[in-house]
């Protein structure tokens, strides 16, 4: 008795050779199915191309109403020889794919693709992750989401608010709607005005348009402006009239 071709045993090899029947039992009418099937199973384009060739012989025979009968029969006999010749290679390739976990790898890639399509940020999302999430109470999940959302909002607010009277030009330029050119103008006017007393003073002095003022209002604050040396002397020199 001949030894098995693979380590899987004869029974496994016979089960995975049933595709040959599409060539043997259909008198050549469906022999190309055998090649399309094994091409898909072990990802071999050369067998897919062979399936196309055999299907062309069938199409010519069907359309020419028997004119290619002789050629069609020859192609069927050739395909029988062909399937038995490639059977060994197919079984070895199939065994290697199953042993290496190639099919599982393909399945995991499909899961990751589906996860991305449905908006999952983590592409390594698996069934085990889904089961773990189901065990977490819904109330705990909602509370966790709220806490994280509050933390993000606090960090964003702290990061975006700047003191317009002390900030550097580069910091002012990062405020939404400002930019480097307007930031340069703000710094220049701030120096001339000895700082901005309030938001109203800021928009009036710089002639800020309403839509831009609304956009940057939540991102800037105004610290108290210390009096200049000139203003202090002027105040001290006043004569108080009783």
Write the pLDDT tens digit of every residue in 120-168: 655 454 555 555 555 555 555 566 666 666 655 555 444 568 888 888 8
157-179 core/surface letters (b: 16 or more CB in 10 A; e: else): eeeeebebbebeeeebbbbeebe
pLDDT recorded at residue 172: 87
- Confidence check: pLDDT of 31 > 60: yes
CA gap 145, 188 in Å, rounded: 44
- Confidence check: pLDDT of 196 > 80: yes
CA gap 162, 64 in Å, rounded: 83
- 17 contacts 83 by C-beta, under 8 angstroms: no
pLDDT recorded at residue 139: 55
pLDDT (tens digit per residue) in 90-128: 999 999 988 887 767 777 888 888 888 887 655 454 555
What's the mean pLDDT in 32-53? 95
- Confidence check: pLDDT of 36 > 70: yes
Mean of per-residue pLDDT scores for the chain:
80
The partner residues of 220 in beta bridges, in order of sequence, read: 162
Q: Which two tokens stand for residue 195?
A: 């700082």
Angle at alpha carbon of residue 182, lines to 177 and 185, rounded to 5°: 150
What's the mean pLDDT in 161-177? 86
- Confidence check: pLDDT of 25 > 80: yes
CB-side neighbour CA atoms (13 Å) of 162: 17
- Confidence check: pLDDT of 45 > 90: yes
Angle at alpha carbon of residue 106, lines to 104 and 107, rounded to 5°: 60
CA gap 39, 104 in Å, rounded: 18
């Amino acid at each position: 008795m001949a030894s098995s071709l693979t380590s899987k045993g004869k029974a496994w090899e016979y089960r995975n050779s049933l595709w040959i029947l599409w060539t043997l039992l259909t008198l050549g009418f469906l022999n190309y199915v055998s090649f399309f099937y094994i091409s898909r199973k072990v990802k071999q384009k050369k067998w897919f191309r062979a399936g196309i060739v055999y299907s062309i012989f069938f199409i010519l025979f069907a359309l020419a109403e028997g004119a290619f009968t002789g050629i069609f029969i020859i192609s069927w006999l050739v395909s029988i020889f062909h399937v038995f010749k490639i059977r060994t290679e197919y079984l070895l390739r199939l065994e290697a794919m199953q042993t290496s976990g190639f099919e599982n790898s393909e399945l995991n890639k499909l899961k990751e693709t589906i996860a991305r399509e449905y908006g999952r940020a983590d592409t390594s999302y698996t069934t085990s992750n889904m089961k773990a999430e189901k065990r977490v109470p819904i109330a705990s999940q909602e509370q966790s989401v709220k806490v994280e959302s509050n933390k993000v909002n606090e960090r964003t607010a702290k990061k975006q608010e700047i003191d317009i009277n002390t900030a550097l030009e580069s910091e002012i330029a990062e405020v939404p709607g400002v930019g480097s050119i307007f930031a340069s103008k703000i710094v220049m006017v701030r120096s001339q005005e000895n700082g901005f007393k309030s938001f109203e003073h800021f928009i009036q002095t710089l002639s800020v348009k309403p839509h831009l003022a609304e956009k940057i209002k939540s991102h800037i604050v105004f610290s108290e402006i210390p009096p200049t040396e000139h203003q202090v002397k002027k105040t001290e020199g006043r004569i108080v009239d009783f």
